[in-house]
Structure 1
Amino acid sequence: MPTSILVLTDFTDASDQALTYADALAVPLGASLVLLHIRREPLLDTEAFNGHIQYMSEGEIAAALANRSAPLASSVVVETVVESVAVAVQQAAAKYHPLLVVLGKPDTATSSDELVASIPRALLRATLVPLLLVPVGATVSVPPTQVTLAADGHPFHLHTEVLNAARQLLTALAPTFTVTYVAKPENSDNCAPSLAAVQGSGLGAAVPTIQTHGVRNRHEAEGILQAAAETGADLLVVVARRRSFLSQLFHRSISTQVILQTSVPILLMSAKD
């Protein structure tokens, strides 16, 4: 089956930027785009990524989708559904088998932390497809040339679907690939255990060379963002251990803090429990 990328749009600046990013990313992957608009009927919807619903008629939605599809370099299929976000993405993933799900991350200064974090949680629960969040206003290379993966030094295992998607992405992009480890200031920032964990997961097979970059920071989320800045990352990869990530999402887990604070696109991959 041809490769596709599933892109969510709600016609906001954040989703428009995510669509532009996905279109540029699709070129080296030889992928098509599936542009998914989830039409929400209630006047107030708790799943609205930006905290509100932009209420539009069917004609307005069709025109907005056509306007966004026309300038794309990639071939595109448009879908409009009336469903919950998780169910809509789950159904689209089953139909199109996308390599990635891409969505825009709004400005956290104007959106509540809970709303910004709730959609990734719902999507990681609904599907094993890697999730790429593109922060509004992000200014990075597309496709990315420096990919930095944060690893905590503990072994992890990826579902076959996630591993295959990550390998296909890395093989097509051929980026500089760096594994980073965050240590407490008083501890060693040796990256050997983190490198071994990444190699053991099977990800190392997709890149010929893996660099390492240790940092020391008392706060792990800050350390991950510090490492992203120091390595010049234009894509940050975080392995979300499903149980800890999903159960603690509203309690400021490390993954959540990185999601909320990053100005660099972030790829979330679910590990097996």
Structure 2
Amino acid sequence: MPAPLLVLTDFTPAADAALQYAATLAAHLQLPLVLLHINRTSVFDPETFTGKIPHRSESEIALALDERIQGLSVPAVPAMMTGRSTNAIRGIVAQHQPALLVLGRPGAAELPAELVSTTSLNLLSEIQYPLLIVPATTQHQLPQRLVLAADNNSFQLAPSARPVQSLLNALQTPVTVVHVAEPEDNDSCHAALASVQRAGLLADGQHPVSTHGVRNLDIPRGLEQAVRETHADVLVLIARRHNVLGRLFHRSVTAQMIRQTQLPVLVLPTL
């Protein structure tokens, strides 16, 4: 059985949108889905008494999972766990060995953007698995062009992220490697492309790869400019481990792009 896409759901509109996007990808890639709900019922959960966590019985959760799976065009299995989110996800990951994790990103009115990026990077650091973060407004269609942001420094993908190469090949979507340079620097992408290829991404020539240099003092703004200029609909980010684990990780480029971009963001962990 091929590695599935693991979709996290809390039954909100953002989670439902992420599920539909994941189902579109899975149908094209011929992959199954695992739909996971984590039932957080502990009195030690800091949000238990805030009203933010709907209290559902196991039968209600099972029904909600089944309703969503019945509407899909790809094979899917439900999963329900109780307990701390990262521990529950780690257990499901060990059981199903998914290709990547998919989660929805609510709008700012529903959840603070800072909390979205913090939760995403905490999950990334603890689970060390590729994350696909899907904004609630994302169209349910296959990506037409991916932008992969890279600097000139070498990196090594975490073992869990290496199969992403096969997914990118199977999508057959054109990829643009983007490098953001300071205004006075050379915006050539040769070194950035070489670092990506040394890491094992885009190395086999099975899909079109181009480069696009941007000059901007602010890297997130430069990436947004590159996304507009290349008409990309998915952004791929390399999450360097020291940025994810550092005390100021919420200021990292990865965190900022998760917060502000309106595209799905695929974040790949590194060693």
**TM-score by structure 2 length?**
0.92
Task: Please identify, of 262-271 and 180-189, the stretch whose mean Cα deviation from structure 2 is larger.
Answer: 180-189
Separation of aligned partners in 2, 1:251 and 1:161: 23
Shift of 1:255: 0.9
Shift of 1:30: 1.2
Matched with 2:99 is: 99
Residue aligned with 1:264, SS: coil
Task: Please identify, of 110-119 and 129-138, the stretch whose mean Cα deviation from structure 2 is larger.
Answer: 110-119
Matched with 1:147 is: 146
Q: Which amino acid aligns with 2:224?
A: L
Separation of aligned partners in 2, 1:171 and 1:219: 31
Shift of 1:14: 0.6
Residue aligned with 2:52, SS: coil
Matched with 1:211 is: 210
**1:1-273 counterparts in 2 under 5 A?**
1-42=1-42, 45-46=45-46, 52-139=52-139, 142-163=141-162, 165-208=163-206, 209-248=208-247, 251-272=250-271
Shift of 1:55: 2.1
Kept after mapping to 2: 8 A contact 1:239/1:271: yes
Shift of 1:102: 0.2
Separation of aligned partners in 1, 2:150 and 2:136: 25
Separation of aligned partners in 1, 2:47 and 2:3: 28
Kept after mapping to 1: 8 A contact 2:18/2:134: yes
Q: Which amino acid aligns with 2:270?
A: A
Separation of aligned partners in 1, 2:94 and 2:113: 29
Q: Identify if the C-alpha distance between structure 1 residues 127 and 53 changes in structure 2 by more than 3 Å, giving closer, same or farther.
A: same
Runs of 4+ in 1 over 6 A off after TM superposition: none
1:41-93 CA distances to partner (integer Å, 9 max, x unpaired)? 14784579xx9212222232122111111110111110111021111111111
Q: Identify if the C-alpha distance between structure 1 residues 133 and 206 changes in structure 2 by more than 3 Å, giving closer, same or farther.
A: farther
Q: Identify if the C-alpha distance between structure 1 residues 266 and 251 changes in structure 2 by more than 3 Å, giving closer, same or farther.
A: closer
Kept after mapping to 2: 8 A contact 1:146/1:177: yes
Q: Which amino acid aligns with 2:4?
A: S
Shift of 1:264: 0.2
1:160-210 CA distances to partner (integer Å, 9 max, x unpaired)? 3311x2111111101101100011222221111101111111112244332
Q: Identify if the C-alpha distance between structure 1 residues 47 and 190 changes in structure 2 by more than 3 Å, giving closer, same or farther.
A: farther
Separation of aligned partners in 1, 2:46 and 2:190: 43
1:79-113 CA distances to partner (integer Å, 9 max, x unpaired)? 11102111111111110000010000111244223
Q: Tell me, which stretches of 5 or more residues in structure 2 are unaligned?
A: none
Superposed CA RMSD in Å reads: 2.0
Q: What percentage of residue pairs aligned between the two structures are identical?
A: 43
Residue aligned with 2:203, SS: helix
Separation of aligned partners in 2, 1:47 and 1:166: 34
Kept after mapping to 1: 8 A contact 2:180/2:215: yes
1:138-180 CA distances to partner (integer Å, 9 max, x unpaired)? 23x62212111000111111123311x2111111101101100
Separation of aligned partners in 1, 2:41 and 2:126: 21
Q: Identify if the C-alpha distance between structure 1 residues 244 and 65 changes in structure 2 by more than 3 Å, giving closer, same or farther.
A: same
Shift of 1:248: 4.4
Kept after mapping to 1: 8 A contact 2:47/2:53: no
> How many residue pairs end up in the alignment?
268
